[in-house]
Structure 1
Amino acid sequence: MMMRTVLFVYFLSFGVFLPFFSPYLQAQGFNAQQVGALLAAVMFAKIFGPLLLGWWVDHSNRLMPALRSTAFLSLLLFAAVIGLTLISAPFVWWLVVLLLFGLVWQPILSQLDVLTLRIVADDSHAYSAIRAWGSIGFIAASVGLGWMINLLPNYKTTLISGFMLLFLFGLLMFLLAMPEPKTVPTPNLSSAHFWPGFWRHLRRPPMLGFLSMQFLVNVAHGVYYAFFSIYLASKGYSAGVIGLLWALGVVAEIVLFFVLPRFLGRFALSTLFLLAIGLMALRWVMIGTLIDSVFWLLLAQLLHAASFGLTHAVGITVMHQQFSGPMQARGQAIFSGLSYGGGAAVGLLLAGFLWAHVGATGAFLSMAFVSVLAGVMWFTCRRLMDDAPTFAAGEVLTDGV
């Protein structure tokens, strides 16, 4: 099916960006705070990008024009990133271009999930089988590119930028070849009727507590996303090993997906989420203090299934239950934008500051403290999570990031 290929190719670009783009920026001469700010610009755009794309799709009820346009602009803007590299452009130019790149590249994923669900008509088994190809793409790119950098270390930056551009081009080509799926009829609600109810639902204290908790969870991943690869390289780990370690985290997510349904009937979603927060805090302590031990490093990467995979699965489940019908795309966009975009952006900015001022260990221990703050917010939304139908969590395969 074409959808498998589209997801596979999209996540190939993620498999390049997440493990290797921060070392790419470091190779351009940027310091820790600048690297954090540039990565934050990409994620900051996620606050607005999903909202804009969700609005477009909701109003037109057509996915392919929106996806093709954003894929084309992503390709164009990453070509501009390569241009900045060639001319040794100043920091401000990089900041603007990466902000625009994030604005069009980041929201593609949420609408690819909508596209997949339309194609399979909400068949959870078919959705899961298709969605798994995204994780396979991430693993293939992170491991494959790491291996190639080991073989050709003098061409590291060329390999990173070249493969990123190639995968974005491939995504555009496959989207151009893909037909528009069957549209889903939605009630024709005017803004006067839609928005008051939407915002009233969103402003309920338990929902605000839930979004704040998810925000902090993503803040807590900031140092990991910004400097994990750089930290590993400074300790002598090769690019191939770095790619394998990132891939291990995604493999752990896939395993979580298969075993999660066994726990959903035994434990409340709130209980699973609290466990995930505790394991997340433990993960940052392990990476910050035991980076030289391969055993503890492998264990810490396996905990990615909890720190990202489980928290994301619960989040999608709750939003799926709380926002339905014509509110669904914009509800998921709010969740993606504020929690994942805003949280990741703040986390990356904080990561650059912490890395420069308290060092690697202090930065990761600070993220453990942020995880504890997320645990405090858990008390404000425990009932909201337990009201969500547990079957929905079993349908979610995580983003692979």
Structure 2
Amino acid sequence: MIQDSRSRDSFALRAAVFYAVSNVLLGIHLPFFPVWLQSTGFDAGQVGAILAATSLLRIVSVPTATAAADRGFGVRPTIIAFAFATALGFTALGLVSAPWAIVAFTAFTAFAHTPAVALQDAYTLRGLRARGAAYGPVRLWGSIFFILANFAAGLAFDLIDTRNLIWLIAVSAMATACVATVLMPLPPAPIPTEDGKPGRPFWREPRFVAVIMAASLIQSSHAVYYGFSTITWKAAGFDGVTIGALWALGVIAEIVLFAFASRLPLAFGPIQLIVLGGLGATIRWIGLAFDPTGWSLPVLQSLHAFSFGASHLGAVAFIAHAAPEGRGATAQGYFSVVQGVTFSACMLLAGTLYEAIGVASYGAMAVIALTGAVVATIVWTRMPDAKT
């Protein structure tokens, strides 16, 4: 383990800055890209179908990126290459207007951007582990800047034409690519090995598959929220700043969890966090299905600490433990691929249901989240492991 405190601090600082800038991109893209798509002439069902189809590209893009990262090209160069491709795609979207071109460049951009989280987490976890530093304090800066981006984009939403929101996304994507170039190189990767079972790759272990599926279902149950909450709140008369504040409130709760994650009792292991995330998501989506507009809406938004934060922390910690040496990016990639498939299905369902029944479609998301919690509970009770 690297003991040089200067190296540890420098790596953590650069990783934190990269999380911050990349989450500015996410903080603008997640709430407002569906609105931008709608402004170009697509209806809610078509927006859901486009988002579902592009998410499904993870099946190809994530294995491509993680294979390049783990098998010679390196995690850092792969991050840089895909970040610049993402910036190019969003810039192109600002320059085209034909529906077929928008769909085509949205697909290109999704191909480049969907491996980002898997690559970034793999890079950060490996670098921090080698330097004896914790993940939570680095990752929380991403959440902080996600909030700032929500507010800034919400303000811009009130001041500029909706069609120009794409330029905020494009500029933040270019900034992300530029910051990626200053990430520190990782130590040499160990030779990849399987997890002590020569004839059985780690990704075929029932416990690994079950946990990945549980976390993916919980994360994918956010489909109605990610795709249509901004559209819903806009229709309810909320201004852009209020919408940004509502998104930010959820992430503030997430930050609190990330900040104190290392102080949680030992009883809260990765699997238990995933179960907690699933239960929190179930409650949240049931509440949002009733289209709240009063005090209950901020309370439900605070459950983002569980629906996203707890399930994300649990999944990342589980994968870091379960992945063999030298296969971190690949393991994160499997999670991203499975999540891409489930999210695509959920987003397609979300678009169809939202077009037909509006916010009541959150009820279907509650069922999906509860299913994830049940699967994780089965793993917890019937497939115990001392470390997870």
Structure 2 length-normalised TM = 0.88
Instruction: Give the structure with the higher percent helix.
Output: 1
Counterpart of 2:336 in structure 1: which amino acid? S
Percent identity (aligned): 27
8 Å CA contact 2:233, 2:243 repeated in 1:
yes
Match of 1:325 in 2: 325
SS at match of 2:327: helix
2:49 maps to which residue? 37
| Equivalent of 2:103 in 84, 90, 95 | 95
The superposition leaves residues 35-63 of structure 1 with CA deviations (integer Å, 9 ceiling, x where unpaired) of 10122233222333222111111111623
Aligned counterparts of 1:117 and 1:202: Cα–Cα separation in 2: 19
1: distance between equivalents of 2:310 and 2:78? 29
Question: Could you tell me which residue of structure 2 aligns to residue 364 of structure 1?
Answer: 362
Specify the alignment match of 1:399 in structure 2: none
Segment of structure 1 superposing worse, 49-58 or 205-214: 205-214
Query: Partners in 2 of 1:318 and 1:149 — Cα distance?
Result: 38
Structure 1 pair 358/299, CA: closer, same or farther in 2 (3 Å)?
same
Distance 2:306 2:383 in 1: 16
Q: Distance in 1 between matches of 2:251 and 2:326?
A: 32
Decide whether the 8 Å contact of 2:211 with 2:271 is kept in 1.
no
Gaps of 5+ in 2: 1-12
Shift of 1:110: 2.3
Aligned to 1:309: 309
**Superposed counterparts of 1:292-303, under 5 Å:** 292-293=293-294, 295-303=295-303
Q: How far apart are the structure 2 equivalents of 1:9 and 1:321?
A: 27
Q: C-alpha distance in 1, partners of 2:343/2:61? A: 14
Displacement of 1:351 after TM fit?
A: 0.5
The equivalent of 2:354 in structure 1 is: 355
Aligned residue number for residue 61 of structure 2: 49
Alignment deviations for residues 157-186 of structure 1 (CA, whole Å, 9 cap, x no partner): 21x21111111111222233x265143231
CA RMSD of aligned residues (A): 2.6
Q: Aligned ranges for residues 73-152 of structure 1 at < 5 Å?
A: 73-84=85-96, 87=97, 89-90=98-99, 92-123=100-131, 125=133, 127-150=135-158, 152=159
Which residue, out of 145, 148, 162, partners 2:167?
162
Within the alignment, does 1:217 sit opposite 2:212 as a pair?
A: no
TM-score normalized by the length of structure 1 = 0.85
State how far apart, in whole Å, the 2-side matches of 1:345 and 1:324 are.
28
State the one-letter code of the partner of 1:257.
F
Contact 1:287 1:297 in 2 (8 A): yes
- 1:240-389, aligned counterparts within 5 Å? 240-267=241-268, 269-293=270-294, 295-338=295-338, 340-361=339-360, 363-383=361-381, 386-387=384-385, 389=387
Out of 172, 176, 183, the residue aligned to residue 171 of structure 1 is 176
* Gap change, CA 1:265 and 1:179, over 3 Å in 2: closer
1:181 lines up with 2:173 in the alignment = no
